[in-house]
Amino acid sequence: MGGLAEDSTNTVSSGPWSQIKKLKFDLSTTRINLPLLFKKKVGNGRNTSFWHDKWLGGSPLHVSYPRLYRLDLNPHCLVSDRSTSAPRANSF
């Protein structure tokens, strides 16, 4: 999915996102964790990986719940794939 959590040392590109990622690396040398300063807005969930993005808590769900992740038949699903219109109803 990409984003600040993605580890990339590609310094070839020069766009704004490339500069932000370079800043992330530079700040990490001073022990400032840039991704922790940002929050992801899940919205409709179509751009957020259920298991692999850090959208709930400080680490991806596949790291926090490895046994449950291994049981999932669709480990590359999005948050939108797991939500329903009913409040608090999720399918796994």
Domain ranges (residues) in the chain: 1-38, 40-92
| Tens-digit pLDDT profile for residues 14-29 | 688 788 778 877 888 8
Find how far residue 75's CA is from the centre of its chain: 14
| Tens-digit pLDDT profile for residues 48-76 | 899 999 877 778 999 999 999 999 999 99
**83 phi/psi in degrees, rounded to 5:** -100, 155
Give the whole-angstrom CA distance, residue 75 versus residue 62: 9
**22 phi/psi in degrees, rounded to 5:** -65, -40
Give Cα separations from 32 to 10, 27, 37 (angstroms): 20, 5, 9
pTM for the whole structure: 0.55
